[in-house]
Amino acid sequence: MGSIKLIIFDLDGTLVHTAQDVHDSVNLTLKEMGLPKVTFEQTKKALGPGPAFFSKIILGEDNTHRFDEYRDIFRPIYLERCLYKTKPFPGITELLKKLSDYKLAVATNKPSNSTNLILDGLNLKSYFHLIVGADLVEHTKPHPDMIYYICSELQVPPQETMLIGDTDNDILAANSSGAYSCLAGWGYSSDKENLSIISDFHIDQPQDVLEILERKNIPEKKIINIGL
């Protein structure tokens, strides 16, 4: 039987509802580039999977070569606007307060500067022992580098770690590392049914994490590795 000592949270779509600020910043960037606006649903779909997938949705197949230009314009716009509408998801702050006996970390494909700015601005940063953004590892999620990095720094093996996230990147990263994977059902993924099949746990609201942790015996992880 396993036990959980370290809980890693994804950021966008898991800890905080960032989509509206991202969406507004995306469209301001596209306007400056002379490209058409995208819908809010397109922005939500693009969050999480990484730059290649993001660029196809946001820029379109014909403009993926302009991703570096897009990124350079987007980043200062988003840094200025990232706390305009962004809020923790309901129940997140209350959950974090109840997890003081666990080591807590954040693993996000967002850059560290915007991640820290958001968590600090929402008074969430102090709950975490470690915050890892895309710039701190060689490979972002779905690769397991972030989980290995966090586990090494906090001296907890992946087998005693659970990653909570809302996209396939999160679930695949956890499964590949040997950590428990937990699907955040309130998040942005449009493929929750299939993701729940490959996740060790599936929760519908933040407080459900406590039910997992309160189990006397947590089963050994069944899914160890899924091809990336």
- What digits encode the pLDDT tens for the residues 71-80? 999 999 999 9
- What digits encode the pLDDT tens for the residues 94-145? 999 999 999 999 999 999 999 999 999 999 999 999 999 999 999 999 999 9
pLDDT at 1: 44
**Catalytic site positions:** 10
The reply to whether 116 and 12 lie within a common domain is yes
**Confidence band (pLDDT; 50, 70, 90) for 49?**
low
- What digits encode the pLDDT tens for the residues 149-201? 999 999 999 999 999 999 999 999 999 999 999 999 999 988 888 899 999 99
The reply to whether 13 and 31 lie within a common domain is no
Which of 54, 81, 108 lies at the terminal end of a domain, its last residue?
81
The reply to whether 116 and 192 lie within a common domain is yes
The reply to whether 193 and 128 lie within a common domain is yes
* Residue in 160, 105, 181, 170 with CA at minimum distance from that of residue 140: 170
The reply to whether 106 and 29 lie within a common domain is no
The reply to whether 12 and 25 lie within a common domain is no
- Considering the entire predicted model, what is its pTM? 0.93
Q: What is the CATH number of the domain that holds 109?
A: 3.40.50.1000
Could you tell me the residue range of the domain that residue 42 belongs to? 19-81
Q: Is residue 223 part of a domain?
A: no
